């Protein structure tokens, strides 16, 4: 036998031994990995909320965290990481270990960041959808000096006075800004935009008569309306809001098909084991059916939803596409 032939057989034998060893290691590792998934959660769960405490996103997250704690006996801790239009908190979750112990609870703004910001990540590929938890409508409101009593009358007024009416938003590129941009585009009206530093200052500007109209989340708008300081005309969602069922929708009031909401979701890092994603999804769907949770959400102006991870993934893609169109048509660019 030649030396070369012997060396070839030795290499082949070594490769065979290596393959067998790897199969043994894999065989040992699989039960260990499966056991780790079965033990989930094995330690406290961190739920990153990319906004400051006290807002609707934070409050929804805290309800969910409390219920996960009760169900699983592990602390679920809210970690508020605001900044850069929520992208700081989102990126923390994108970079986290994909074992289900770091989760993201955010709003529909995650869909607009793709167009508005230069991201180092892609929410579609770098996050694992878990569940679409809830939604909150925006209210279309005007200052009492505005004679319009419905969304259609406001549209007619704006068309009769192009460039005269001013709307407030909670900031350039925020959901309140983009909702009005969609309204303006579909209604074919010319109104001016004044951004403020948050929803509170924007609503105060409307109360003070600095601006004439606004789209804002229901919780930040309804108290002022009930006090008679502003007048609400319609809700932004396709269905009427449970908290104010007497209010018509924008779609009912002159813009068929108009449907915008602040939606609250949960994501995990991409690569999180499917069984863990499914377990979290099942638990949150279960809690969303609890009367106590539904009551607490309703008090926040939030409607519980639920559904599959796939449904959230599809909805994220839909929202990214439609807001990209609105942002580009309006020429919105963040400095």
Which of 235, 252, 277 represents a domain boundary (last residue)?
235
Q: Given this model, what pLDDT does residue 5 score?
A: 46
CA 93 to each of CA 63, 83, 164, 273, 289: distance values in angstroms, whole numbers, following the listed order: 20, 14, 44, 15, 27
pLDDT digits (tens, 9 = 90+) for 272-290: 999 999 999 999 999 999 9
29 pLDDT higher than 60: no
pLDDT digits (tens, 9 = 90+) for 56-68: 899 999 999 999 9
Peptide bond into 260 cis (omega under 30): no
What's the number of CA atoms in the CB half-sphere (13 Å) around residue 75?
A: 5
177 pLDDT higher than 50: yes
Q: Given this model, what pLDDT does residue 220 score?
A: 87
| One domain, residues 194 and 267 | no
Using the 8-state DSSP alphabet, how is residue 51 labeled? S
Quickly state the pLDDT bin for 124 (edges 50, 70, 90).
very high
| One domain, residues 147 and 109 | no
Q: Given this model, what pLDDT does residue 334 score?
A: 85
CA 183 to each of CA 189, 208, 250, 310, 326: distance values in angstroms, whole numbers, following the listed order: 9, 23, 9, 29, 10
Q: Which domain holds residue 151?
A: 142-235
What's the number of CA atoms in the CB half-sphere (13 Å) around residue 53?
A: 4
| One domain, residues 132 and 156 | no
| One domain, residues 161 and 217 | yes
Q: Given this model, what pLDDT does residue 37 score?
A: 58
Question: Does 112 fall in a domain?
Answer: yes
| One domain, residues 176 and 325 | no
Tell me how far apart the alpha carbons of residues 175 and 148 are, in angstroms, rounded to a whole number: 23
CATH number assigned to the domain comprising residue 146: 3.40.190.10
| One domain, residues 126 and 53 | yes
CA 69 to each of CA 128, 133, 289: distance values in angstroms, whole numbers, following the listed order: 22, 17, 17
| One domain, residues 266 and 132 | yes
Structural element, H or E, at residue 9? helix 3-38
Considering its fold, how many domains does the chain have in total? 2
Handedness of CA 80, 85, 88, 90 (dihedral sign): positive
Tell me how far apart the alpha carbons of residues 216 and 222 are, in angstroms, rounded to a whole number: 9
Average pLDDT of the chain, as a whole number: 90
Quickly state the pLDDT bin for 3 (edges 50, 70, 90).
very low
Q: Given this model, what pLDDT does residue 30 score?
A: 45
Question: Does 5 fall in a domain?
Answer: no
Quickly state the pLDDT bin for 170 (edges 50, 70, 90).
very high
328 pLDDT higher than 50: yes
| One domain, residues 288 and 226 | no
Question: Does 10 fall in a domain?
Answer: no
In the three-class reduction of DSSP (H, G, I as helix; E, B as strand; rest coil), residue 128 is classed as strand
| One domain, residues 163 and 131 | no
CATH number assigned to the domain comprising residue 298: 3.40.190.150
Find the mean pLDDT for residues 111-120: 95
Using the 8-state DSSP alphabet, how is residue 143 labeled? -
Q: Which residues contact 275 (CB under 8 A, 6 or more apart)?
A: 37
90 pLDDT higher than 80: yes
Q: Given this model, what pLDDT does residue 27 score?
A: 55
Task: Write out the two tokens for 289.
Answer: 């059916």
Q: Given this model, what pLDDT does residue 32 score?
A: 45
| One domain, residues 106 and 175 | no
């Amino acid at each position: 036998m030649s030396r070369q032939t012997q060396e070839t057989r030795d290499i082949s034998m070594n490769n065979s031994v290596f393959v067998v060893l790897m199969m043994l290691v894999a065989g040992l590792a699989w039960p260990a990995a499966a056991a780790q998934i079965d033990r989930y959660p094995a330690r406290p769960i961190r739920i990153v909320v990319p906004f400051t405490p006290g807002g609707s996103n934070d409050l929804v997250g805290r309800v969910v965290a409390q219920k996960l704690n009760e169900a699983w006996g592990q602390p679920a801790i809210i970690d508020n990481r605001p900044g850069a239009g929520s992208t700081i908190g989102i990126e923390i979750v994108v970079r986290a270990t994909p074992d289900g112990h770091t989760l993201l609870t955010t709003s529909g703004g995650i869909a607009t960041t793709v167009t508005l910001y230069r991201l180092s990540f892609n929410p579609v590929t770098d996050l694992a959808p878990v569940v679409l938890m809830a939604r909150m409508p925006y209210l279309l409101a005007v200052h009492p000096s505005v004679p319009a009593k419905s969304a259609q009358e406001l549209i007619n007024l704006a068309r009769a006075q192009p460039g005269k009416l001013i709307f407030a938003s909670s900031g350039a590129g925020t959901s309140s800004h983009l909702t009005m941009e969609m309204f303006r585009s579909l209604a074919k009206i010319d109104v001016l935009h004044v951004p403020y530093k948050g929803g509170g200052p924007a609503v105060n500007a409307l109360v003070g008569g600095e601006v004439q109209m606004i789209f804002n989340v229901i919780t930040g708008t309804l108290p002022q309306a009930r006090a008679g300081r502003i007048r609400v005309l319609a809700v932004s969602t396709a269905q009427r809001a449970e908290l104010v069922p007497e209010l018509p929708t924008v779609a009912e009031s002159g813009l068929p098909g108009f449907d915008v909401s602040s939606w609250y979701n949960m994501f995990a890092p991409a690569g999180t084991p499917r069984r863990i994603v499914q377990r979290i999804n099942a638990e949150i769907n279960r809690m969303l059916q609890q009367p106590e949770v539904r009551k607490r959400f309703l008090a926040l102006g939030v409607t519980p939803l639920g559904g599959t991870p796939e449904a959230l993934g599809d909805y994220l893609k839909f929202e990214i596409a439609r807001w990209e169109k609105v942002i580009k048509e309006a020429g919105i660019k963040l400095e």
